[in-house]
Amino acid sequence: MPRYRITIEYDGRGFVGWQRQKNGLGVQQALEEAVLGFSGEEVTVFGAGRTDSGVHAAAQVAHFDLNSEPRADTVRDAVNFHVKPHPVSVLMARVAEDGFDARLSATSRSYRYLIVNRRAPLTFGRGLMWRVAVALDAAAMNEAAKVLLGRHDFTTFRAVKCQAISPVKTLDRLEVARDGEAITITARARSFMHHQVRNMVGTLKLVGEGKWTTADVRSALHAKDRAKGGPTAPACGLYLSRVDY
């Protein structure tokens, strides 16, 4: 019974998120139905990251088991054929190594958050990035981001409904870089809590517009109180961009 490992890209608009849910289509369900469509097998597709509604993936990783043993390239093409017309695409498929689990074996997850910093509304970027009209100081945001690096209790940046057992996480990377009107925030950790990246981005935005200082970010972190953090940045700018094993 081979296990397949797939790398997936998707446009989060129109999905209720990664997970199968009753109130709409999850990416997971779209993939499970595509696998059923070509193999006749009912599988569960396990993903490395449970992205929220409206959040995109440039390289989500998932696995599933089949009784049949199609070639990995066939799996890639057949899932892509059957998953149409949903905006989900299998970039790569391969037979997983023994013991591989997309969620449990992951050693780090990387997200990127795209801000377009301009006054003009978005056109082709609608739903794919966060437009912030007020001028942001990306260098100040990048400085403040350093406060969050390392091992901390991230309760301040955790959704109230988050089900993680511990709020202590280690943030390995948090960088803010500007290229013209585009500001990209890159975050990497073994794992993140619910809304953690979006809550950190919403807080760094306060620094970018000069309302908060680096010291304010430090105080908010130490308060371990979600009410002391900045607002949650919208889902549309967030991409699960990489999973390492």
**Does residue 11 touch its own copies according to CB under 8 A?**
yes
Counting Cα atoms < 13 Å in the Cβ hemisphere of 186 gives 9
Q: Considering beta carbons, is residue 132 or 221 the nearer one to its own copies?
A: 132
Strands 130-132 and 108-117: parallel
**Does residue 84 touch its own copies according to CB under 8 A?**
yes
**Does residue 89 touch its own copies according to CB under 8 A?**
yes
Q: Considering beta carbons, is residue 15 or 212 the nearer one to its own copies?
A: 15
Distance CA(137)–CA(127), nearest Å, equals 23
Helix extents (H) in 51-100: 72-83
**Does residue 9 touch its own copies according to CB under 8 A?**
yes
Residues 43-82 that bind its own copies (CB under 8 A): 56, 76-77, 80
Residue 52 known to be catalytic: yes
Distance CA(171)–CA(200), nearest Å, equals 11
Distance in angstroms between the alpha carbons of the first and the last residue of the chain:
22
Q: Considering beta carbons, is residue 92 or 215 the nearer one to its own copies?
A: 92
Given a contact cutoff of 8 angstroms between Cβ atoms, the answer to whether 56 and 17 are in contact is no
Please enumerate in sequence order all residues whose Cβ is within 8 A of that of 29, keeping only pairs 6 or more positions apart, or say none. 20
Binding mask 194-233 for its own copies (x = CB under 8 A): ----------------------------------------
Cα three-residue angle 70-75-79, rounded to 5 degrees: 140
Binding mask 105-144 for its own copies (x = CB under 8 A): -------------xxxxxxx-x-x----------------
Q: Considering beta carbons, is residue 99 or 124 the nearer one to its own copies?
A: 124
Could you list the residues that contact its own copies (CB under 8 A)?
Answer: 9-11, 56, 76-77, 80, 84, 87-92, 118-124, 126, 128
Q: Which residues are catalytic?
A: 52
